[in-house]
Amino acid sequence: MRRTAPGALAGAALLLTLTTGCGGGASADDSGTVTVTVGYQSRTINTVTAGTLLRSLGYFEDELRKRGARDGVTYKVKWQDYATGAPITAQMTAGKIDIGSMGDFPLLINAARGVQLKRPTRLVSVTGYNLAGGLNTVVTAPGSQLRSLTDLRGKKVSTSVGSAADGTLVRALQQAGLDPEKDIRKLNQQPAVGASALQAGSADALSQFVAWPGLLAFQGRAEALYDGAELNLPTFHGVTVSEDFAEKRSAVVEDFLRAQGRATAYLHEHPVAASESVAKATGLPAEVVHLYNGAQGIATFDTTLKPALIVALKKDVPVLASAKLVGDVDVDAFVDDRYIKRVYGSGYAKALAAGPPARRGGEVWLKGKDATTAFATSAELLRYAAAHRDQVRAAYVPDAKTGTLWFADRAVWVEDGSALRPYVTGSAARADVAAHPGARTVSYADALKRAGTAS
């Protein structure tokens, strides 16, 4: 199945405008080899176009081979994998990583630490984004008695402090009338540790970024308590480079962005193959990767530095400052679009203006198939899934209010007359029921049965 939404058009446009890099050449060391060190987060799967997928496709190495043939220099890429953005920043400010990818909140910490330690960095492109914030989710253990954010008062909540998921937690609690510093017991844990804590009962809830919430839900180890898209604030991941590296080797930075653009186009053109590739490299189930990175996935992949994302980044600064994780951050000085503009050429303005694909009714991935089937409405999807019940590998539906994609069998369904509406969280479904007399929540099995009967 091919994505023909604006993101795909942008990717195609990029391929048409890719040219050999301009800017300063990379200088070789005494051995004649230039080593470029890239820090990435393999399991933070909306960074894959600058990390996991890009590495597996070999596009950056390919670009550097072509540059080496022109420059007479041998280029080598050293990939370093991390669980979060914090260690990437530590390595960048120590002069050991040249290019890194991380989420919006870690990017700000990256900018602040770079200035503080006199090793400034620059944001040069975006990987995956969600304009509503749906990449971050708060989850609880299956069968938990916690029904809303207000129920977290006095509870232990695991998150990675300073991450985008922590930012979502802080904002969501404040919106619910809770003090994130006083009303909960925050556990600062790596995602895997937090997932284990949730399962063991030593954490009551977990606020994490892609792909952890989807993974735990898919495995039946968690239920969504809060959909980050309820904040309606953009969240994204991006690529940051050492300013010193960028100034000395600007052409190599452009080669990286050119390779990232090729990986983005590949993901748009081959979403299922990309999901399978990332799954193989990370050990994540392909069904989970596809929830975020698929044709209708939660993340939209686009390398351009969109104004809405930069505005959102500026709004993130006070949240991090209040937690004393950064002081003031000059976002405008941190964002540097020179390199991505040169890579795109005349097509940049059009790509910058392109938005995410229009919300559809979800998609079904049948066993043994290398493409998914898309639907205009959730009702059509249910009828199809009911007719192919034993063949469904995964079915995905958008939340009826936020549009966040979720597994159909993990969604909370509301039956309202002949209508069936899916939600990521039980609280959203209960709000729907309260607003529509006669409506009620039903299981996925019942939703399939009703859809099958209706057909």
Beta-bridged to residue 442, according to DSSP, are: 413
Average confidence (pLDDT) over 175-186 = 97
Average confidence (pLDDT) over 174-186 = 97
pLDDT, tens digit, 9 for 90 and up, residues 201-211 = 999 999 999 99
Q: Are 214 and 30 in contact (CB under 8 A)?
A: no
416 CB-contact burial (10 Å; exposed 0-12 / middle 13-18 / buried 19+) = middle
**CA atoms of 127 and 300, how far apart (whole Å):** 8
Alpha helices in 296-362 (DSSP H): 307-322, 331-334, 338-344, 348-353
**CA atoms of 212 and 218, how far apart (whole Å):** 10
Q: Are 103 and 46 in contact (CB under 8 A)?
A: no
**CA atoms of 140 and 201, how far apart (whole Å):** 10
Kindly indicate the confidence band of residue 359, based on its pLDDT and cuts at 50, 70 and 90: confident
Report CA-CA distances (Å) from 126 to 50, 307, 425.
9, 12, 28
Task: Specify the pLDDT at position 29.
Answer: 58
| Chain centroid offset of residue 312 CA | 15
Task: Specify the pLDDT at position 20.
Answer: 36
Percent of the chain exceeding pLDDT 70 equals: 93
Q: Residue 27: is its pLDDT beyond 70?
A: no
Kindly indicate the confidence band of residue 1, based on its pLDDT and cuts at 50, 70 and 90: very low
Task: Specify the pLDDT at position 10.
Answer: 43
Residue/partner pairs of 191-199 with CB below 8 Å, 24 or more apart? 191/43, 191/83, 191/84, 191/160, 192/83, 193/158, 194/158, 194/159, 194/160, 195/221, 195/222, 197/158, 198/139, 198/140, 198/141, 198/158, 198/222, 199/141
Kindly indicate the confidence band of residue 28, based on its pLDDT and cuts at 50, 70 and 90: low
3-state secondary structure of 383: helix
The edge-to-edge listing of strands for the beta sheet with 99-103 is: 74-81, 33-40, 99-103, 235-242, 121-130, 300-301
Q: Residue 19: is its pLDDT beyond 50?
A: no
Phi, psi (5° rounding) for residue 322?
Answer: -65, -30
Residue 59: its H or E element: helix 59-71
Task: Specify the pLDDT at position 17.
Answer: 40
pLDDT, tens digit, 9 for 90 and up, residues 244-300 = 999 999 999 999 999 999 999 999 999 999 999 999 999 999 999 999 999 999 999
418 CB-contact burial (10 Å; exposed 0-12 / middle 13-18 / buried 19+) = exposed
pLDDT, tens digit, 9 for 90 and up, residues 86-109 = 999 999 999 999 999 999 999 999
Reading the block at residue 314, the tokens are 């500026």
The residue ranking higher by pLDDT, 451 or 118, is 118
The amino acid present at 36, given as its one-letter code, is V
Positive or negative torsion for Cα 275, 277, 281, 286: positive
- The mean of the pLDDT values for the chain is 93
Task: Specify the pLDDT at position 193.
Answer: 97
Whether the predicted model's global pTM rises above the 0.75 cut? yes
Phi, psi (5° rounding) for residue 66?
Answer: -65, -40
pLDDT, tens digit, 9 for 90 and up, residues 196-233 = 999 999 999 999 999 999 999 999 999 999 999 999 99
